[in-house]
Amino acid sequence: METTLLIFKPDAVKRRLLGRIIQRLEDRGFKIRGLKMTQISKELAERHYGAHKDKPFYPGLIQYITSSPVVICAVAGPRAVEVCRKMMGATFGWKAESGTIRGDFGISNSFNLIHGSDSTDSAKHELGLFFEDGELQDYDMPDDAWVFDPAEDK
């Protein structure tokens, strides 16, 4: 089981899409291990998006992610990073396939609704940025035996 970080960005919050996005994750069989609404500080945004510091879109990205509250979500399940990224769709909404979060709810290059960790290493790093020790919960789901095949989903 992997745990990955998702951030429901300001446009997802302001467009009242949180419940619909979370429903998709739960319908797929993922477990929500942590969920909180917060306002990301400029300093935290700069740490989180540090890899993009020299790119021309960086100042706008920092302004956008700090412009209003976001929802931080830790999601667990087999291949969580890869599957959540597929569920998100292409970065630019107009390029995202129908059936994905961005493809169904977005069309913008700038306002793309959701961030997801791009690897298990970045997930560990990002989870540490946004969740304190003890904030992620682990619990049994009664339907796991019907959602995941233990022989293939270790």
- CATH code matching the domain that covers 2-131, chosen among 3.30.70.141, 1.10.3720.10, 3.40.50.1820, 1.10.357.10: 3.30.70.141
Distances (CA, A) of 25 to 46, 68, 80, 86, 98: 27, 23, 10, 12, 16
Q: How far is 117 from 46, CA to CA, in rounded Å?
A: 16
The residue extents of the domains of the chain are 2-131
Sign of CA dihedral 48, 50, 52, 55: positive
Q: Which residues does 45 contact at the CB level (< 8 Å), separation at least 6? A: 61, 62, 65, 66
Per DSSP, helices labelled H in the chain are 10-14, 18-27, 42-48, 58-65, 80-88, 101-105, 120-130, 144-147
Of the candidates 48, 52, 115, 125, the residue annotated as catalytic is 115
Record the pTM: 0.94
pLDDT of the chain, 154 residues: tens digit per residue: 899 999 999 999 999 999 999 999 999 999 999 999 999 999 999 999 999 999 999 999 999 999 999 999 999 999 999 999 999 999 999 999 999 999 999 999 889 999 999 999 999 999 999 999 999 999 998 988 888 887 776 5
Active site residue 115: yes
The candidate with the shortest Cα–Cα distance to 13, out of 30, 46, 36, is: 36
pLDDT digits (tens, 9 = 90+) for 20-57: 999 999 999 999 999 999 999 999 999 999 999 999 99
